[in-house]
Structure 1
Amino acid sequence: MSISIQSWSKELVAAVEEVFYGKQRVIKKILCALLSRGHVLLEDVPGTGKTIVARAVAAVLDLDFKRIQCTPDLLPADVLGVSIWSAEKQRFLFKQGPIVSNIVLVDEINRATPRTQSALLEAMAERQISVEGKKLPLPEPFFIMATENPVEFEGTFPLPEAQKDRFLLSLSIGYPDKTAEALILESQRQLYNPVEKLSPRFHKEDLLKFQEEVTQIHVDPALRDYMLALVQASREHPSVRLGVSPRGSLALYRASQAWAAMEGRRYVVPEDIRALVADVFRKRIILKSEALIKNIQVDRVVESIVESVPVPVFKEGV
């Protein structure tokens, strides 16, 4: 039986909400990144459910899941894998690292050294890893969800701009409201983690098919130019030292296509772009020092950019 991307996403959001309460829009944006073949950076304090949402998405999609806890002594071989001598076979056998999986949660990525971060960069950018001079393709679908703690910087290695630019979206989960937190407490009145009770609703073949379909979502030339105008405005804003890169333009384009498909349309409308522009731009904009001194926030700059660029007239439909 054929199912639409809209129905698929609604069912997945509902399934993940069974264990990750009150954050429907965050779940939807994570699925949007998955459909766009992108990656997500979650910047949040500990205990807001980052691991649960990653495990839940993997469970309902029947995907392999691995978790990498980053520390300063984490080596690239710990992430990629290493060859181990087999006395039985009298040769080296390659033992795959946790990066060789469908969904990988990279917890506190800024605690890994730049050398280890660069190994993750190749995986994100090229969907392959280099081990002992050989290229190893990563499984499809491949999705990295990395986390950062925004309030603790001691012993961390800030992500370089090239690494931040590889993330399609930058999201914040935030604290749950009182009702959602009450549900969290009630869910713990059992022996096992609620995520372990989730059963697959779809298979990876469905996701791979939908990733292909998303690329065919129509974008009117006027809306394409609207995206470019937003990007250009980020580069010319008086508070901005470094604006959004061409890779950021592509991220907004791809994410808007996926969002439109999740809304049940075969074409993009301005609301799709405006729903995602802050998440795409957030980690790609660097403010000038004088703006930081005045405590100007990146999200406020993005709001002013969106307000300054007029929404174009476009032909609705395919």
Structure 2
Amino acid sequence: MYNGTEFEFILLGFPGFQDKESKSILTAFFFSAYILILLENFFIIIVIVADENLHKPMYVFICNLALVDLLITTIVIPKALANFMFNLNTISFSACFIQSFAYLHGTSVQLHILAAMCYDRVIAVCNPLQYVTVMSNKLVITMLVLSWTVALVFPLFIMCFALQLYFCGPNKIPNYYCGHGAIIKMSCTDYTINSVLGLVFGLGLLILHAIIFIISYVKIIVTVLKIKSADGHMKAFSTCGAHLFVVITTLLSAAFVYVTSRVPAFSLDARLMVVTVQNLLCPMINPIIYSLMTKEIIEM
């Protein structure tokens, strides 16, 4: 049996795109997307930090979402580019587990912050006169601290279980980063419990947050329908539109990843394309949506 200091994994990237031309296209796409993600999200963070008028709960949450998008892509993309460009496709046992843990933590933080933003939007639309009192600095900081710390529980739990597995031979991961599901399949021992735990916790997290989002927006919609003026409807839409769009894209992409990874009809490359949408397109689109649909940022 190999231990963590001896064992290495090989990241195959996109198994169906191994020729030089395909790798060049992948390199160009991943590199361009990564640069855009860095520029867009750093822009959002700098603008919000620099402008005191944007030191409000909603923008503090947006700033943290931009930070999460930067972290998730930086965890995954540089290693993928090294693979595509220079064929540096090996990764140590410990680095692989750290990457998987960090990725799971980042995606969990993202869901928690979006849930916190739901509460913020509900108060803003349904109880605007009490907004400043309810959404105090203390509450916002508490929500953010909990979002980052509670998000450690799920990754720590399933990765600790994964560390109990033995790895003695198969080491070729058909992906461009170390995902929990791909890692446990490399084990020489039965990983059924690990697979079930990953599915239950992952889907459980998605379903829980989906319920929070649905309840929040049902309450918002009911309140908006009671507003008789068209201006009131537009104001409510501008208040919640960006958040709603990001929630929908985040949940749908995450759900597609879970579904396609467990449906044999989807080819491996098709599954990786869905994962790429989650890892690249969402972090690239989110800052644009927040900028275009947020009045204060547009007017800068």
Q: Place the TM-score, normalised by the shorter chain, in its bin.
A: under 0.3
Structure with a larger share of its residues in helix = 2
TM-score, length basis structure 2: 0.26
Structure with a larger share of its residues in strand = 1
Higher relative contact order (CA 8 A, sep 6+): 2
